[in-house]
Chain A
Amino acid sequence: MEVTFKVYRKDPEKDGKPGRSNYTVEVAESATVLDALLKIRDEVDSTLAFRASCAKGYCGECMVRVNGSARLCCTAKVPDYTKKGPEISLDPLRNIPVIKDLVFDFDAFLWNKIKAVKPWLESDGSSVNGENLLPDSQMQDMRKVMSCFNCGMCDEGCTVLPVDFNFLGPAALTKAYRLAFDPRNKNSREQVKIVEKPKGIWDCVHCYEADEHCPRGIEPTKRIVALRDKAYHAGITHETVARHHKSFAASVKESGWVDEGRLAVESEGLTNVKGLMKLLPTAAKALAKGKAPIPYMHAKRPDADRIKKIFEKAEQEEK
């Protein structure tokens, strides 16, 4: 079948401006997009740059956008993309600096972010006492999370990264989950502290795009939420947002509804004078309108005890 591939081009050695090249080639019915790219590079335009390694869907190297959707091009079957016509557009992933043509900066996108979470176990490697004895159920969860092959699809779909490229992103945070929850890791507290800081777990907006995009069903969003839980219970609450969650839950548990005054104050932190001072203009405006809640002077709502029971039951189940 004859197909025209419209491929994104960018040449850092020329003007570096994005362009597009169209290549019309004859490909087999069973061909993948990677097959076509290899043919194009060999027979039509050898300046075309794109990455590939295993060519069999295992290694994650050949990620591109095919007709706008990110995927591995070695498993993208050409006929699946030519149903509306014999044209396929190919682009690098979104919102990532492009180096050349379809080769984008994977270091900035992913590898460096993984490095930033200190992605290794601190563990005693001596074989003298044999292997750690562990139930397979624990290892099963690890195998699921570690089946991540750094394809980058979760980061590509993330709605925070286009706004803040420095957000660690679901892939790096999934790695952090692996570190935090591997029972053999002696360093997990330090690693949780790293991801609890700005640009980490609390910057996720839980849009669940990562879970939608992950081809292995790893559910990065779920892992990020689990990390928040772990951080919170370990008393690692550096971030305002963490304190916000804690205060919110505490006042609902005690009184059945949110104590807004207490929430504002505890989110900033009781000893955070600078932060508290920032609240004054808002507090003054609210007071003028007769809407200022006085922190801690907060009536329990009716049936507050039943709401408290729900919390206690949930806390029991968590244990």
Chain B
Amino acid sequence: MQEFDVLVVGGGAAGLRAAIAAKHAGATVALISKVHPLRTNSAIAQGGLNAPLGKNDSPESFAQDTFVAGDDLCDRDVVRIFTQKASQDIIWLERMGVPFNRDTEGRLDRRPFGSNRQSRTCYTDDRTGHMVLQVLHEQFQREQIPSFEEWFVSTLAVDNGTCVGAVALSLRSGKLDAFSARSTILASGGFTRVYLPSTASLGTTGDGQSLGYNAGARLMDMEMIQFHPTVLAKREGLLLTEALLSEGAVVVDHKGGSISDIKGMPRHKISLSIYSRQNGAGSVLLDLRPVGKEKLARFPQTQELARTVGGLDVTKEVLPISPAAHRPMGGIETNAAGETSIDGLFAVGECACNGLNGAGRLAGNTLTEAVVFGRKVGEAAAKHATAVAKKSFPATKVGDEEQKLARIMSGDSSQDTVRKIHGELGRLMNEKVGLIRNGAGLKEALTEIQNLEERFSRVRVKNPSRVYNYELTSYLELASMLTLAEVVALAAQSRTESRGAHQRADFPERDDTNWKSHTVATLAGGSVQLQKKPMASS
């Protein structure tokens, strides 16, 4: 058994930032990640991260733009904390070595991005996620924090309402081990792979949310899924940064008519606009040629990927685009310090929902969220670890997991496979719980999800090894996705209004009278309990 003050699950931007902060605060820390930190989803973020550094900018203006993008479902206190701390946390990143683009005065340059009314998005060309993650990993290594890479957390250990750690499987050795911790931070990323196509990495399967939910934590605003408007239609899920739109790229429909009502709009509006003008797959086109050679030089990643993945030369050809599922706003319910409803369990980053993003995340807020709250939650978790007595790790937990894995890996499997079921789930979610929903479609989706869950229950893992058994990890990931898909569909069904990323054809208007509330889902007696949580008044 391994013992630490703070255990961080997930090696992306938020997890690394939290681990560093917890270590600085004096805690003993360990990180567990199912892939190496530099292979996490954070690496593929492109556009940039927001900070109100401009002369004419302010935390208040930044907050206002966040509220608008979130369609008034954001928690005002959380947004206030976030917008006030963003500048200092981004400057820390610069000082620790992120090679941000500079203006002529040598200051951090800021690009126009999405519906930010001021240019406040700091960037490194179009590889911002990659650079930020790299520097965070550099600092993480400096702290010499034990890093359990290619370990898959299979369950949290909750004893009498308190989280005391986790049990994880080492892919390399095939062994299960217990990780005892006074504070456990889930920083395992989003669940966008519930949708196909999606812009996310293969491992973005909501394992953290599922672990927390199964242990009794609450999931908030799960119906809020942001679709990204400029995703290459030629190859599933290849994202082209929205920053291109702010730099002059033009969107045209199949008739050649320009789609111009999208400038400076929040993402959900751009996605809806493109979706409504589509006439078959790949009929809406993104033209990067108006950006001009000089500015295009700041988008090397875009050019490289369009060429290697899409076979397209952006300086000569237009790109077919189609909105695709990008990131959830919802996740494990937390307060501003990352505390969940389970004592000792924290969550941060894309797997958490602290009220910052409401019904729509402002473009450029995600990486800032990872570092601002990564730091805050790491500090809170370290503080919590010093304040609590050590609880013993339940003696039977590892044995229970051994049995669970043995059950999954024994017996005859049906003809279904994990990939087949995942494929059907992804397409179902995209169609019926996607950009525009309606009551009838949601009902059908729920029935279909039940069918898929029943079919899944008859699948077994045929690979008998536990060493680098990706059939096993895919199986566990699909279990997470099916659980979350049901919650998303139920939450979408319950919200009888349209707000931000949640659009109901049968309830097309925003309903502030009845719906200035979050949806909260809890697992009780084996089924999903949904509640309405009114927004905090401030």
B127 is contacted by which of A75, A100, A101, A143 (Cβ under 8 Å)? A143
The 5 closest A-B CB pairs, nearest first, are A142-B99, A133-B106, A42-B419, A127-B91, A46-B471
Q: How far is the CB of A163 from chain B (nearest CB, A)?
A: 27
24 interchain pairs, CB-CB under 8 A: A12-B467, A13-B174, A39-B419, A41-B471, A42-B418, A42-B471, A46-B471, A47-B469, A49-B467, A49-B468, A53-B40, A55-B201, A58-B43, A59-B38, A59-B43, A99-B468, A100-B467, A119-B138, A131-B108, A132-B95, A133-B106, A136-B103, A139-B124, A149-B38
Q: Enumerate A38-67 residues with CB–CB distance to B below 8 Å.
A: 38-39, 41-43, 46-47, 49-61
Query: Are B102's CB and A135's CB within 8 A?
Result: yes
Q: A54-B202, A57-B308, A149-B130 are in contact. Are A123 and B95 (CB under 8 A)?
A: yes
B54 interface residue per 8 A CB criterion: no
Q: How far is the CB of B111 from chain A (nearest CB, A)?
A: 13
Binding site secondary structure of chain A? loop
Minimum CB–CB distance for A173 against chain B, Å: 16
Is B84 engaged at the interface, CB distance under 8 Å to the other chain?
no
Residue-wise, chain A 54-92 has the 8 Å CB interface mask toward B (1 for contact) of: 111111110000000000000100000000000000000
Complex Cα gap A150–B471 (Å): 26
CB proximity to A under 8 Å, residues B515-538: none
Given contacts A42-B420, A125-B96, contact A146 B467 (CB under 8 A): no
CB of B35 within 8 A of CB of A127, answer no
- Report the nearest B residue to A106, measured CB to CB: B36
Once A58-B301, A119-B141, A120-B139 are accepted as A-B contacts, the answer to whether A134 and B106 lie under 8 Å apart by CB is yes
A143–B100 CA distance with the chains assembled, in angstroms: 8
Q: Does A103 contact B (CB under 8 A)?
A: yes
B405 proximal to A (CB < 8 A): no
Interface string of B182-208 (1 = CB under 8 A from A): 000000000000000000011100000
| Residue contact A120 to B40, C-beta cutoff 8 Å | no
Residues of A within 8 A of B397 (CB): none
Nearest chain B residue, comparing its CB with the CB of A100? B468
- Is A56 a contact partner of B107 (Cβ separation < 8 A)? no
For A47, the chain B residues whose CB sits under 8 A away are 463-465, 469, 471
B125 surroundings in chain A (CB, below 8 A): 143
What residue in chain B is nearest A119 (Cβ atoms)? B138
Contacts of A134 in B (CB 8 A): 102, 106
How far apart are the CA atoms of A55 and B305 in the complex, in Å?
Answer: 12
Docked pose: A279 CA to B38 CA in angstroms = 48
A146–B134 Cα gap in the complex (Å)? 8
Q: In the assembly, what is the distance between CA of A60 and CA of B39, in Å?
A: 7
Please state if A53 and B201 are interface contacts (CB–CB under 8 Å): yes
Closest to B200 in A: A54
Q: Does B28 contact A (CB under 8 A)?
A: no
Contact across chains for B95 and A126 when beta carbons are under 8 A apart: yes
Q: Please measure, in the bound complex, the distance between the C-alpha atom of A49 and the C-alpha atom of B41, giving whole angstroms.
A: 21
Docked-complex contact A132 and B94, CB < 8 angstroms? yes
Closest Cβ of chain B to A41, distance in Å, is: 7
Contact A54 B201 (CB under 8 A): yes
Chain A residues contacting B138 (CB-CB under 8 Å) are 119-121
Return chain B residues, CB-CB under 8 Å to A46: 461-463, 471
Q: How many angstroms from the CA of A135 to the CA of B418 in the assembled complex?
A: 51
**Residue A147 interfacial (CB < 8 Å):** yes
A121 to B: closest C-beta gap in Å: 4
Contact across chains for B417 and A53 when beta carbons are under 8 A apart: no
**A149 proximity list for chain B (CB < 8 A):** 38, 43, 130
Asked if A127 meets B44 with Cβ closer than 8 Å, knowing A46-B463, A75-B309, the reply is no
Determine if A184 is an interface residue (Cβ-Cβ < 8 Å): yes
A277 to chain B, nearest CB (A): 42
How distant is the Cα of A249 from the Cα of B203 in the complex, in angstroms?
Answer: 54
Q: Is A296 an interface residue (CB 8 A)?
A: no
Chain A residue contacts of B300, Cβ below 8 A: 147
Q: Which of A55, A101, A103, A126 makes the CB contact (< 8 A) with B202?
A: A55
Q: Is the CB of B87 within 8 A of A127?
A: yes
Minimum C-beta distance from B426 to chain A (A) = 13
Cβ–Cβ contact B91 & A120, under 8 A? no
Point out the residues of chain B lying under 8 angstroms from A53, CB to CB: 35, 39-41, 201-203
Tell me, rounded to whole Å, the shortest Cβ–Cβ distance linking B412 to chain A: 14
Identify the closest chain B residue to A105 (Cβ).
B172
- What sequence of 0s and 1s flags, for each residue 92-133 of chain A, a beta carbon within 8 Å of any chain B beta carbon? 000000011101001000010001001111011111001111
Contacts of A203 in B (CB 8 A): none
Residue B514 is within 8 A (CB to CB) of chain A in the complex: no
Asked whether B88 lies within 8 Å of A127 as measured between CB atoms, the reply is yes
Which residues of A203-247 have CB atoms within 8 Å of chain B's CB atoms?
216
* A-chain residues with CB within 8 Å of residue B468 when the two chains form the complex: 49, 99-101, 103
Contact between B465 and A147 (Cβ–Cβ < 8 Å)? no
Query: Smallest distance from the beta carbon of B460 to chain A beta carbons, Å?
Result: 10
Beta-carbon nearest neighbor of B127 in chain A: A147
Q: Does A185 contact B (CB under 8 A)?
A: yes
Tell me if B238 counts as interface (CB < 8 A to partner A): yes
The answer to whether B458 has its CB under 8 Å from any CB of chain A is: no
In the assembled complex, the CB of B45 is this many whole angstroms from the nearest CB of chain A, namely 10
- Who on chain A is nearest to B199 by CB? A56
A143 and B130 CA atoms in complex are apart in Å by 10
Q: A254: CB under 8 A from chain B?
A: no
List B residues 270-308 near A (Cβ within 8 Å).
Answer: 300-301, 304-305, 308
Q: Indicate if A260 sits at the interface (CB-CB under 8 A).
A: no
Residues from chain A with a CB closer than 8 A to the CB of B100 are: 131, 139
CB of A230, distance to nearest CB on chain B (Å): 18
B131 and A54 contact, CB distance less than 8 A: no
Residues of B within 8 A of A103 (CB): 468
Interface residues of B in 16-45 (CB under 8 A from A): 35-36, 38-41, 43-44
A60 near B38 with CB under 8 A, answer yes
* B391 contacts across to A, CB distance below 8 A: none
Interchain nearest-CB distance for A130 vs B (Å): 6
Q: Which residues of the other chain, A, contact B461 by a CB distance below 8 angstroms?
A: 46
User: Complex formed: what's the CA distance from A135 to B106 in Å?
Assistant: 5
Contact indicator A56/B44 (Cβ below 8 Å):
yes
| Chain A residue contacts of B470, Cβ below 8 A | 41, 49-50
B95 contacts across to A, CB distance below 8 A: 123-127, 131-132, 184
Instruction: List the B side residues contacting A143 at CB < 8 Å.
Output: 99, 101, 124-125, 127, 131
Are A57 and B309 in touch, CB under 8 angstroms?
yes
Distance between A129 CB and nearest chain B CB, rounded to angstroms: 9
Partner of A58, one of B44, B97, B105, B107: B44
A135 to chain B, nearest CB (A): 6
Flag A142-160 by CB within 8 Å of B: 1 or 0 each: 1100110110000000000
Query: Is A75 a contact partner of B43 (Cβ separation < 8 A)?
Result: no
A38 touches B463 (CB 8 A): no
What 18 additional pairs, Cβ within 8 angstroms, besides A54-B43, A58-B301?
A13-B465, A43-B419, A53-B35, A53-B41, A59-B201, A99-B172, A100-B467, A118-B142, A120-B96, A121-B96, A126-B95, A130-B91, A133-B106, A136-B109, A139-B101, A146-B99, A147-B300, A149-B38
A59-B39 CB under 8 A given contacts A49-B468, A133-B106: yes
Roughly how many angstroms separate A56 CA and B201 CA in the complex, as a whole number? 8
A38 to B172, CA, bound (A): 20
A56 to B310, CA, bound (A): 10
Query: Given A42-B419, A59-B44, A125-B96, do A150 and B38 touch, yes or no (CB 8 Å)?
Result: yes
B237 interface residue per 8 A CB criterion:
yes
Interchain nearest-CB distance for A74 vs B (Å): 8
CB-CB under 8 A for A56 and B92, given A38-B419, A99-B172, A135-B102? no
Interface string of B443-483 (1 = CB under 8 A from A): 00000000000000000011111011111001000000000
Interface members, chain B 162-178 (any A CB < 8 Å)? 172, 174
